Amino acid sequence: MTFADEQTRPRVEPPTRGDERATLAGFLDYQRETIRIKCAGLTADELARRAVEPSGMSLLGLVRHLADVERTWFRRTMAGLDAPPLFFSDAEPDGEFTAAVADPNQVVDAAAAWREEIAFAERFVAEAPDLDVVSAASRRGHGHVCLRWVLVHMIEEYARHAGHADLLRERIDGSVGE
């Protein structure tokens, strides 16, 4: 199974007592896990099903998008690595959504890329001396940012897309809730 369900791998609540790093990392992990659970048990056809016309949004597109978001903020911006986007380009700026198709191999590849980018981000956060670490690269519109800002932004990014995932999953099979 590409995406484990809640019974197979329960989602862990963020810590209610902990330092800032543990709290932010816990909330980000919780949001990541929400996306995983929304994708669990679905076929490639269901994962690639679009929301409503004219939207190109699908659960598979969201996973591809979030893999690139993780890559952009942690590899490219914070670590300053030369890591080109995985699923979009200048020629296809929405490629993570528009090129998401009902292909089981594409689902496996997208899930693997997402997990790999999350693993890199988790290592980066764990190894950073503190949350005031400033990005190696600047981001258009943001300049150089600190790790704290990136973590808060990522929580917001995932939470927004978890809402999209709720609606997409409900459209697919009627599942609602977290």
pLDDT at 159 over 80: yes
Give the separation between CA 68 and CA 74, rounded to whole angstroms.
10
The pLDDT > 90 percentage for the chain reads 81
Reported as a single tens digit per residue, the pLDDT across 51-100 is 888 888 999 999 999 999 999 999 999 999 999 999 999 999 999 999 99
Integer-rounded Cα Rg, in Å, for the chain is: 16
pLDDT at 6 over 80: no
- pLDDT value at residue 4: 76
* DSSP string for residues in 6-39: TTTSPPPPPPSS--HHHHHHHHHHHHHHHHHHHH
The tokens 């690639």 sit on which residue? 48
- pLDDT value at residue 147: 98
- pLDDT value at residue 1: 55
pLDDT at 178 over 70: no
Give the separation between CA 13 and CA 64, rounded to whole angstroms.
25
Average pLDDT, the chain: 94
